[in-house]
């Protein structure tokens, strides 16, 4: 099935830098759906940036806010949602996403992600001495979770995002 003959919500999951926000915007424009981004929603609700939330409340605090936002956004209809890379860590979020729409995993190798997002100050998890190692660890930990949460797996590596996008709309 392609997206044009599917209905309901589409949730994009995957590691940071996979292209969830970029692809999500394009899909929303093409399908006439409204676009949402869980990180952006958290920033709007709190009035501060993601790094500030991590600083003040730690990753734990951020995850709580993220769970609330995911739960709320899952109630909406006909949306494209780009989730934060760690949104699938909580079981409740996995369930919520899986039950409320079609979950699409954008699969990208950590080495490619590193080239795309190295030096990005807005991603607290990679503000470490060895961000590549960190991304590789996150990949090892999360790839199986993304795979079992997703209804569709897109290998961005092989196709590039434009081809992927066209593929979805074929
Ligand atoms: C995170 C990914 C980020 C953001 C936060 C934590 C993660 O979102 O939610 O920095 O745990 O992978 P993006 O995937 O949009 O970068």
Say how far apart CA 149 and CA 104 lie, in whole Å.
9
The alpha carbon of 1 and the centre of ligand 1 are apart by a number of angstroms equal to 29
Could you give the maximum distance between any two Cα atoms of the chain, in Å?
Answer: 46
pLDDT tens readout for residues 17-32: 999 999 999 999 988 9
Say how far apart CA 120 and CA 10 lie, in whole Å.
27
59 CA closest ligand 1 atom index: 6
Tokens of 33: 């759906």
Nearest CA to ligand 1 atom 11: 86
Tokens of 24: 């999500």
Question: Best substitution site from 39, 70, 120, 140 to test ligand 1's pocket, by max atoms within 8 Å of Cβ?
Answer: 39
pLDDT tens readout for residues 136-166: 999 999 999 999 999 999 988 766 655 666 6
State the average pLDDT over residues 97-123.
96
Residue with tokens 């676009």: 35
pLDDT score, position 10: 96
Spacing of C-alpha 41 from chain mean position: 13
């Amino acid at each position: 099935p392609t997206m044009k003959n599917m209905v309901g919500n589409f949730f994009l999951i995957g590691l940071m830098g996979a292209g969830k926000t970029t692809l999500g915007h394009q899909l929303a424009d093409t399908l006439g759906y409204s676009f949402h981004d869980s990180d952006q929603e958290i920033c709007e609700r709190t009035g501060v940036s993601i790094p500030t939330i991590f600083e003040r409340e730690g990753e734990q605090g951020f995850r709580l806010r993220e769970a609330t936002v995911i739960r709320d956004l899952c109630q909406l209809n006909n949306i494209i949602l780009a989730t934060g890379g760690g949104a699938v860590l909580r079981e409740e979020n996995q369930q919520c996403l899986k039950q409320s729409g079609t979950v699409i995993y954008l699969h990208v190798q950590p080495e490619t992600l590193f080239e795309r997002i190295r030096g990005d100050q807005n991603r607290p998890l990679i503000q470490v001495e060895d961000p590549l190692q960190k991304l590789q660890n996150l990949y090892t930990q999360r790839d199986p979770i993304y795979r079992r949460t997703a209804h569709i797996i897109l290998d961005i590596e092989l196709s590039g995002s434009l081809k992927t996008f066209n593929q979805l709309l074929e």
